[in-house]
Amino acid sequence: MQSASVDIVQAGKTFGSHIALAPIDMEIRQGEFMTLLGPSGCGKSTLLNMIAGFVTPSSGAIRMAGADVTRLPPYRRKIGMVFQNYALFPHMTVADNLAYGLKMQKLPKAEIRAQVARTLEVIKLTKFADRHPRQLSGGQQQRVAIGRAVITNPQVLLLDEPLSALDKNLRGSMQVEIKEIQQRLGITTVFVTHDQAEALSMSDRIAVMSEGRVRQVGTPDEVYERPSDGFVASFLGDVTRIFGRLTEIRGGAAVILTEAGPLRLPEAQADLVLGQDCEVFIRPEHLTLVPDGQPAMLRGTVAMRIYQGGHFDILVDHPGAVGGHILLRLTDREQAAQAEPGRQIGLHCDPKNLRAFPSA
Amino acid sequence: MRLNFHSIAFWLLVSLLIGFVLLPAVVTAIVAFNAGAVITFPPKDWSLRWFERALTYRDFQRGLWNSVIVMLWTSVFAVSIGGAFAWVIDRCDFPGKRLLEGLLTSSLLIPSFTIGIGFLILANQVAMNRSFAVVIVTHVILVLPFVMRAVFVSLRSIDPSLERAAASLGAGPWAVLRTITLPLMVPGLFSGLLFAAILSFNEFTATLFVSAQATQTLPVAMYNYVREYADPSMAALSVMFFVMITVVLALTNWLMDLGRILAIKSQDH
């Protein structure tokens, strides 16, 4: 079966007076890995369940490969789904779990057996075919769940926080495995997660959601480097926010007065009106140390130096920053050695990497 | 172990409780081996004659047979009806759902003799008062709340995402019920069956009203016997009851463990 594009047309969901999902438009392209990212209660699961058919939209429509499926029950949509707790059938063996979808399609027994054998090989569980799910480790259960979801060649693969129950090491390798299977099959995939690192590393595009709305849709690079609002900027990756007010726009540059003095950035990066209270967002990896005695954009005293293995996180006291600290990330050990706790340091950030958004 | 006041008081209380629970059974068991025709405790002479009497007395033989018939039909009907309604109430949404649940469990609140009299009058109206049907219907009504409770518990322990997973794999509502829900309900249905069987076998109050000479169950036959005789055959019967129920429970325990091995029970990790 050909994998399909998914079009969400003004689809929304209300429960009584509660708006779980404000009407949204979203186009998920054929073969694309789309991640719905947001904190719990942001509507991402509602949207996924709408695509699956478990939730009927209060308004709007959902199309798969151009065909309207809004009123179609889940078992008539050609989907594969992986659940947070895997939802493997406890009374069936691994092989029977895998065969379930094929049996529902009433395929000949010999063909089912062949396909199950093939899938067992792909998920590297051939030896475990006759085990029951509870006799498997978390990672193995996860692989069965993925195998069961893709064995029927669905048009769309839906993943509902499939990695959140795994420990950190396993999560990393499962990310790779899921991505590999998805790319080999070229299957349109919708992935729900609240983990921004997962979203950034796996997705073709990310839809960042909060409070029932889509804040931004874009490639991982776009949403990380060019966030459309303060929520997106602070939800993805680490960020330092500095309070300020837009005081002047001159020659394509916006001047924001902060506790640390005026900060200048390209006008296009400040979505503000004159006089508006705002926050300036700075990524930790965009900040560099300024040699002593030279002019710096920001100054402060090093409060803490945290060793993270591959890099150092440096917290610099600054009264104008939200939380009272500026976060700086250094990979160079010699530079990090200079950022001794208690020492006064100067910091610089290229203005093209600064973003300013209205205060929340 | 150091004996102080607290531990002595504790063990005294435990012994009292055990004694309180077991004493009637122990006394009855001892009395059953009485040789005399009058119940005396402790017995002066010992014999098995009252076991023989209980086993050969025609009304008891008949009563046991009737009880088994009623118990089997009651269990089958109660589990089918109770299981179906429990599923409908738990998984479907419709107006009057709470009312239906209330109706099906109302026999918990209505005294057994009221139900007995009610069915007696109804059965008379349709000239069914001498049939097993009225006894079985009465028993089904009485055990239904317990069966439904047992099924509800097992239904609610089924992870709803299992049914969703089945649906996402192309299984329609009936296929989901047949391949997922029903197999996972087996422990609940089984304990419901056990409830139904034991309660039906022990039921007396309502049965007294709805049974006729030909359909009287063992408890009713025993009641009728006691009204005329006061010999230890009752005690002998009690011992046999006790042994039988112990055997059934032991068997069940063994079967339930089997269920775990067959992975009928849900995952426990």
Residue B158 · residue B185 · CB < 8 Å: yes
Question: pLDDT band for position B3 (50/70/90)?
Answer: low
Q: Residue B63: helix, strand or coil by DSSP?
A: helix
Peptide bond between residue B42 and the one before it cis (omega within 30 degrees of 0): yes
CB A331 within 8 A of CB A344: no
Q: At residue B262, does pLDDT exceed 70?
A: no
Answer whether A94 touches B (CB < 8 Å). Answer: no
Instruction: Determine the pLDDT at residue B258.
Output: 52
Find tokens 């029927």 and name the residue. Answer: A152
Contacts across the A-B interface (CB distance below 8 Å): 73
**CA-wise closest residue to A99 among B87, B170, B244:** B170
B9 burial level (CB within 10 Å; 0-12, 13-18, 19+): exposed
Q: Confidence class of residue B138 from pLDDT cuts 50, 70 and 90?
A: very high
- Average pLDDT for consecutive 10-residue bins of chain A (360 residues)? 85 90 93 94 93 94 92 93 93 95 94 94 92 92 94 94 85 88 92 93 95 94 90 90 88 84 82 85 90 85 90 90 89 86 90 86
Q: Are A357 and A279 in contact (CB under 8 A)?
A: yes
- Residue B265 binned pLDDT confidence (cut-offs 50, 70, 90): very low
Of B168, B172, B179, the CB nearest to A79: B168
**pLDDT surpasses 80 at B232:** yes
Lowest mean pLDDT among A160-174, B152-166, B172-186, B245-259: B245-259
Disruptive mutation site among B93, B168, B264, B267 for chain A (greatest number of A CBs within 10 Å): B168
| CB within 8 Å: B168 and A149 | yes
Q: Which amino acid does the sequence have at B238?
A: S
Closest-CA distance, B171 to chain A, in angstroms, reads 6
To the nearest whole angstrom, how far is the Cα of A74 from the nearest Cα of chain B? Answer: 6
The CA distance from B16 to B23, in Å, is: 10
Is A91 close to B264, i.e. CB distance below 8 A? yes
- C-alpha span between B253 and A286 (Å, rounded): 67
Residues in chain A: 360
Chain A CB contacts of B170 below 8 Å: 75, 101, 104-105, 152
**B175 contacts in chain A (CB < 8 Å):** 75, 104
Residue A284 · residue A298 · CB < 8 Å: no
Tell me B34's DSSP state: B
DSSP state of A165: T
CB contacts of B159 in chain A (<8 Å) are: 85, 87
Cβ contact (<8 Å) for B263 and A90? yes
| pLDDT value, residue B269 | 36
CB contact under 8 Å between A104 and B171, yes or no, is yes
**Contact yes or no for A75 and B268 at CB 8 A:** no
Instruction: Report d(CA B248, CA A190) in Å as an integer.
Output: 53
Secondary structure of residue A158 in the 3-state scheme: strand
Is some CB atom of chain B closer than 8 A to the CB atom of A73?
yes
> Chain B contact for A165, CB < 8 A?
no
Strand partners, A79: A156
What's the DSSP call for residue A237?
A: S
**In sequence order, what are the beta bridge partners of A93?**
none
pLDDT tens-digit readout, B40-66: 778 788 888 888 888 899 999 999 999
Whole-number pLDDT of residue B268: 41
- Rounded to whole angstroms, the Cα distance separating B226 from A166 reads 67
pLDDT tens-digit series, residues B77-114:
999 999 999 999 888 888 888 888 888 888 888 888 99
- Environment class of A69 (CB within 10 Å of its CB; exposed 0-12, middle 13-18, buried 19+): buried
- CA separation for the pair A261, A282 (Å, rounded): 15
CA distance B220 to B231: 17
Of B172, B266, B269, the CB nearest to A75: B172
Cross-chain Cβ contact B164/A81 below 8 Å: yes
pLDDT for B259: 52
Decide if A91 and B184 are in contact by the 8 Å CB cutoff.
yes
Residues A229 and A224: their CA atoms lie apart, in Å, by 11
Contact A89 B165 (CB under 8 A): yes
Secondary structure (3-state) at B201 = helix
SS3 A310: coil
Q: Strand, helix or coil at B30? A: helix
Number of neighbouring beta carbons within 10 Å of residue B5: 7
- Across the interface, whether the CB atoms of A158 and B168 are under 8 A apart is answered yes
Instruction: Choose among A67, A91, A89: nearest CA to A77.
Output: A67
Question: What pLDDT is recorded for position A170?
Answer: 85
- The domains of chain B, with CATH numbers, are 57-261 (1.10.3720.10)
**B262 — phi, psi (to 5°)?**
-75, 0
Q: What is the pLDDT of residue A101?
A: 95
Q: Where are the alpha helices (DSSP H) in A266-340?
A: 333-338
Distance of CA B81 to the CA centre of its chain: 16
Token readout for A347 is 């910091």
Q: B159 to chain A: nearest residue by CA?
A: A87
What is the spatial distance between Cα A253 and Cα B112, in angstroms, rounded to a whole number?
Answer: 88
Q: What is the pLDDT of residue B266?
A: 45
Cβ atoms of A272 and A282 closer than 8 Å: no
